[in-house]
Amino acid sequence: ERFRVTGLYENRVFDGIPELLEALVGRGHTLYVATSKPGVFAREIARHFAFDRHFKAIYGSELDGTRTHKDELIRHLLDSEGLAAEHCLMIGDRMHDLLGASRNGVACIGVGYGFGSEDELRAH
């Protein structure tokens, strides 16, 4: 319950991310979020940090527990948006991102900041 009220605002923006999002959108890329975090919270976090304007849609798990597995979530995003996996790139910080992308035929880049470790990413 605490996360719902105040915890979701206790995130921090990594250096360079606002500029990266601007550059990607400026080059004509369409951006989406696929997070295991409940979508309602993810959308509020993006709005709070003024990132929501960069994303066509923000997909997350549901509060009833559906789509908590990253591969299911990515498949749902691809199907809902009519996207071809071979034209997409997932950027993730956890092994679940890499595995979920791989299981859906989406190329993936692991980043060394966030919650995952370099060892975790290299293993997948």
Within-domain flag for 55: yes
Contact (CB, 8 A) for 5 and 27: no
Would you call 50 helix, strand, or coil by DSSP? coil
In this prediction the pTM is 0.89
In a domain, 109, yes or no: no
> What's the token pair of residue 24?
């990607």
The Cα 104–Cα 109 span in angstroms is 14
The number of CA neighbours under 13 Å toward the Cβ of 3 is 7
User: By residue range, what is the domain housing residue 69?
Assistant: 2-87
Residue 118 lies in a domain: no
What string of pLDDT tens digits covers the 124 residues of the chain? 666 667 778 888 889 999 999 999 999 999 999 999 999 999 999 999 999 999 999 999 999 999 999 999 999 999 999 999 999 999 999 999 999 999 999 999 998 877 777 787 888 7
Domain-embedded: residue 76: yes
| Contact of 101 with 74, CB cutoff 8 Å | yes
Report the CATH number that the domain containing residue 27 is assigned in CATH: 3.40.50.1000
73 within a domain of the structure (yes/no): yes
Side-chain half-sphere exposure of 27, counting CA atoms within 13 A: 7
In the chain, the number of structural domains is 1
